[in-house]
Copies of this chain bind each other. A is one copy, B any other.
Amino acid sequence: MRRKTMEELDRPSAEEVNKSAKNPLIVILDDVRSMQNVGSAFRTCDAFAVEAIYLCGFTPQPPHRDIHKSALGATETVNWQHFPTIEDAIRSARNDGYQILAVEQVHNSVMLQNVNYQGTKTALIFGNEVTGVSDKALSLSAGCIEIPQWGAKHSLNISVSIGVTLWELVRVNTSNR
């Protein structure tokens, strides 16, 4: 098995990515604390061609060396905006026609494998590393997605949750690419 070279991976340039069609998905980070998690979110959103990242509240913003360390340049290829509050971010996404879903373990959540995405414009809220999605954000969401888990622990790392959720939503489109 021969490894693919950089050329053979045939990745688009930053300029091409900025011009190319994205998946109609927005990732909203609500009071996420860690620079590393923010950087990883950028890298994952680049890989899965996400439309934009909304950074809310005290979520750190690029440029910052510690975000760059895990983003590895993806802050240049994913659109992002900062919003002072989660309400502002949700209002903006909703005005642009996005349905608002939180990723959290709540009653009446939809398990990830059952989400009926089909390319609907969707904004996904991911919350703080310790406290999760805030009650305010939950109250403004149309519904919640839950990642099924079978272990003794109570959550996945937020970077992993973002990756798993985005993959599940974009995988249904992968045969068309």
Which among B45, B70, B77, B151 is the interface contact of A11 at CB below 8 angstroms? B151
**With known contacts A4-B106, A157-B159, A168-B167, A152–B40 Cβ distance under 8 A:** no
> How many residues of chain A have a CB within 8 Å of chain B?
69
Contact B3 A175 (CB under 8 A): no
Chain B nearest CB: distance from A112 CB in Å? 8
Copies of this protein chain in the complex: 2
Contact A153 B4 (CB under 8 A): no
- Considering the chains assembled together, what is the distance between the CA atoms of A79 and B96 in angstroms? 47
1/0 per position for A67-88, CB-CB distance to B under 8 A? 0001011101110000000000
Contact B106 A152 (CB under 8 A): no
Contact B104 A3 (CB under 8 A): yes
Contact B154 A107 (CB under 8 A): no
Check if A59 is an interface residue, CB within 8 A of chain B: no
- 14 intermolecular pairs with C-beta atoms under 8 Å apart: A1-B138, A1-B139, A3-B132, A8-B107, A13-B152, A44-B157, A44-B160, A47-B155, A48-B150, A112-B167, A112-B171, A113-B171, A147-B167, A160-B160
Beyond the given A78-B151, A167-B167, please list 16 additional residue pairs across the A-B interface where CB-CB is below 8 A. Answer: A1-B106, A1-B107, A1-B108, A2-B106, A3-B132, A4-B107, A11-B152, A36-B36, A43-B157, A44-B160, A46-B152, A47-B156, A74-B152, A77-B151, A112-B167, A164-B167
